[in-house]
Amino acid sequence: MTQYHPSLDGRTFRAVSDVDGGEVSTETVFEYHQDGDLVWAEYSGGTIRRGHLVGTRHGDRLDFRYAQLNTAGETAAGHCVSTVESGPGGRLRLHETWEWESKAGSGTSVVEEQ
């Protein structure tokens, strides 16, 4: 039996809560794109002026790098692995495990389709 993996292309996500140790907040909006196994997104909001991520998708697993600029003028970069699942009302949710590569820190977060 083949499992259905809905595309992320054109979907908008927002964090369900502020992220401890990170800069993403409930004001941060992610605009996702997908072409086959290639995924990328632009994001901004809250203390993030501009962010970009790029990586791959295999089934319901995303593996990507991100780079961002915050409102204080500081840049930061890191790595994230996410699992895609269906959330409340059929909206997609991404359960993320991330770590900074440009500074100390790591954590988990959840973003939900808007």
pLDDT of 2 strictly over 70? no
pLDDT of 1 strictly over 50? no
- For residue 53, the enclosing domain spans 12-113
pLDDT by residue (tens digit) across 82-98?
999 997 788 999 999 99
Percent of the chain with pLDDT over 90: 88
Kindly report the CATH number assigned to the domain that includes residue 92: 2.40.128.30
**In-domain check, residue 25:** yes
Q: What is the pLDDT of residue 27?
A: 97
The one-letter amino acid code at 7 reads: S
**In-domain check, residue 2:** no
Compute the distance between CA of residue 95 and CA of residue 20 in angstroms, rounded to an integer: 15
